Structure 1
């Protein structure tokens, strides 16, 4: 059986799935970097909100 050239034997199943999904959606690294930056900022805001709730409940 001949394996596809776009998968490596060491790639995890999740890695292969992500690569397949990226090709279907037209993923670009610039878009990914933007999404990561936005999500990091969301985490900071969520952490501040939770900290405020905890302080208020004391």
Structure 2
């Protein structure tokens, strides 16, 4: 009897590049989480700031 395996996922070029980079640097999920904690989740603050800028620019349009 044949084993039915799931279809392979179509990955984007960026995903493939990131995966190669992770393999080269020995990336681990725990390391990634630690780096995010050390950066104090700056990406969230940056996203909030961009959102604020966008909302202000929409209100000041003629």
Please state which band the TM-score falls in when normalised by the shorter chain.
0.3 to 0.5
Higher RCO structure (Cα 8 Å, ≥6 apart)? 1
- Please give the TM-score of this superposition, normalised by the length of structure 2: 0.45
Q: TM-score w.r.t. structure 1 length?
A: 0.47
Which protein is richer in helix relative to its size? 1
